[in-house]
Amino acid sequence: MDKNAARVAAWNSDELPFSEPGLAEVVKAATTTTAARKANLSFSTAVDETIRKADLIFVAVETPSGKRDALGYGAAPNLTSFHAVLRHVAKTAEKDFILVNKSTVPVGSAHAAKEIMTPHLRPGIKCHVLSNPEFLAEGTAVSDLTHPDRILIGSDDSEGGKAAAAALASLYSKWVPIDQIITMNSRSSELSKLAANALLAQRISSINALSALCDKMGADITEVSRACGLDHRIGKGMMRSTLGFGGSCFEKDVLHLTSTAAKLGLADVAAYFESVVNINTYQTSRFTENIISQVPSSPTGRRTVVGVLGFAFKPETDDTRCSPAIPVIRDLVLAGYQVNIFDPLVHEAKIQEDLRASLGDNQHKIDEQVFICTDVYEACEGANGIAILNSWSDMRYIPSTDGGNYTTRASNAKVNSISKNAFQLTLSLFAKIIPRMFTPELSLTATSIATSTIEVDDGHIDWERIADGMKNPKYIFDGHNVLDHRLTELGFYIDGVGRPLQTPGFVQETETLSSALNLNGRGFVEKSKVQQLPPSWVQFIPVAE
């Protein structure tokens, strides 16, 4: 069975080929005929037959970043899959159809798509191309689908174009209020997709740039973010400072916009958007450098161990594309650390594959220095530091006195039926699904995903057990500012992003420090070692020549 066939077989099974909360239930409901409703979703490798039957054909292929542009700004997307699909659809169609493009493409692509398809169409066959960008975020894709902020439909100005847009609007109107379905010209719609991601990414880079200031000045970025977000003109969304954004969209789309601006001769605009990506890279390096300075790598003897929690680019997904975990782990490995990794959803083979690609000529170091663990405790056992690189909900600390207040994971999003479709939906329904069907290199097998969710069964991580197993000082580098500061009660130092270091208290600090610096409890620090201290310790600890 080839990879596409295997992937489609997975869609037709009980184990979908990737992890997305609530999706299995939607797929099950839509593919099963019951007394109440007829199945209206199917997955098939019979592409030609499916195209021939379709009134609306959704295209949702990946358009990954291509090479860096020669002009030196950004990177245009690689449209190979998109163009291949256009030609195939045009050659195969036997009746008029509407092509709905959900892939993120350069502005002007709807127009270009028509030009590409026209020479391949059979005589008398007419097609219209619509732009219908996708705004789903991973981990919340089902609720984003059922409760979108807006649906954009871009068409050309012709009567036929407008009629095609109305047909698509009527499909969405089965579950989306009509005032949230916005029609516009296809260029505006295509640019809106890039603009939305650039604006979201720019907010995160702004808050991350501010986090660097906080780290220098003793301010707390979570307080600054809250203070600013309460201004309704600024708003609260996308204002969390983290170790940097990841995922397949933000960097790619900002680089795409950057490259477009540069090609149009708008060098200042290109430089502005490029800086959004530069700050992101800086933030991730800053996070790693902080680990290296607080928990220095041992030059001789046993390797210093960092336990990494989270490898996917965000919680509730097994997607690792552009995950900031990859450069963090790469740089730790290159600096000589042993890295123990746990992620509840990402398969070991995928972690290995990503790290090998990232380490290139140094990939042999993985065998010696990287351990992929089956639970958080294994990853943290004997660690000198822990790095939280994504934050699944079970990371909360529940002191025993609060035990009864624990709330379980958010239940899966409510599933709306989309059974009243007036048209046959054929090539694609959900963006984020289809790109992976058409891009074998990004496929993940679903088979082993369920194996490692062990410690979430009883609700939350047992931080006391982790504290017991760690070396002193017990440093946690919280790349998402998610940890409860009461964890310091257990002797942890919590070093968030853009936040003052949280310490366990003076007495424990000196003890921990003494053992960390091998001072045998003498209670002072040699001047030469002061640099190794976290800044907040310096004021308390006697320094000797």
Q: Which residues carry out catalysis?
A: 249
Q: Write down the least CB distance from residue 195 to ligand UDX, Å.
A: 12
Q: Write down the least CB distance from residue 318 to ligand UDX, Å.
A: 13
Q: Are 215 and 162 in contact (CB under 8 A)?
A: no
| Helix, coil or strand: residue 544 | strand
Q: Are 81 and 101 in contact (CB under 8 A)?
A: no
Nearer to ligand UDX, 239 or 295 (CB): 239
Q: Write down the least CB distance from residue 259 to ligand UDX, Å.
A: 18
DSSP symbols for 150-211: -EEEEE-SSHHHHHHHHHHHHHHTTTS-GGGEEEEEHHHHHHHHHHHHHHHHHHHHHHHHHH
Cα–Cα distance, 362 to 341 (Å, whole number): 18
What residue type is assigned to position 369 of the chain? Q
Q: Are 69 and 259 in contact (CB under 8 A)?
A: yes
**Contacts (Cβ under 8 Å, ≥6 apart) of 66:** 75, 76, 77, 78
50 CA to centre of own chain: 32
Nearer to ligand UDX, 146 or 536 (CB): 146
Q: Write down the least CB distance from residue 216 to ligand UDX, Å.
A: 20
Task: Find tokens 């599933």 and name the residue.
Answer: 415
Task: Find tokens 């260029």 and name the residue.
Answer: 187
What are the CA-CA distances from residue 452 to residues 24, 59, 523 (Å)?
Answer: 19, 34, 43
What are the CA-CA distances from residue 143 to residues 21, 79, 413, 426, 437 (Å)?
Answer: 9, 29, 6, 22, 22
Q: What is the dihedral of CA 463, 468, 470, 475, to 10 degrees?
A: 50
Q: Write down the least CB distance from residue 480 to ligand UDX, Å.
A: 7
Nearer to ligand UDX, 280 or 384 (CB): 280
Nearer to ligand UDX, 342 or 377 (CB): 342
What residue type is assigned to position 211 of the chain? S
Nearer to ligand UDX, 240 or 436 (CB): 240
Q: Write down the least CB distance from residue 390 to ligand UDX, Å.
A: 7
Nearer to ligand UDX, 137 or 182 (CB): 137
The secondary structure element, H or E, covering residue 97 is strand 97-101
Q: Write down the least CB distance from residue 488 to ligand UDX, Å.
A: 24
Q: Write down the least CB distance from residue 59 to ligand UDX, Å.
A: 16
Long-range contacts at 106-110 (CB < 8 A, ≥ 24 apart): 106/76, 106/77, 106/79, 106/190, 106/256, 106/260, 107/187, 107/190, 107/191, 107/194, 107/260, 108/187, 108/190, 109/79, 109/82, 109/190, 110/154, 110/155, 110/156, 110/186, 110/187, 110/189, 110/190
| Helix, coil or strand: residue 357 | helix
Nearer to ligand UDX, 197 or 503 (CB): 197
Rounded to 5 degrees, φ, ψ at 338 are -90, 135
**Backbone angle region of 521, left / alpha / beta, with phi > 0 → left and psi within -120 to 50 → alpha:** left
Binding site for ligand UDX (CB under 6 A): 134-138, 197, 200, 204, 238-240, 242, 245-247, 249-250, 313-314
| Helix, coil or strand: residue 147 | coil
Q: Write down the least CB distance from residue 321 to ligand UDX, Å.
A: 9
| Helix, coil or strand: residue 414 | coil
Nearer to ligand UDX, 143 or 384 (CB): 143
Nearer to ligand UDX, 116 or 137 (CB): 137
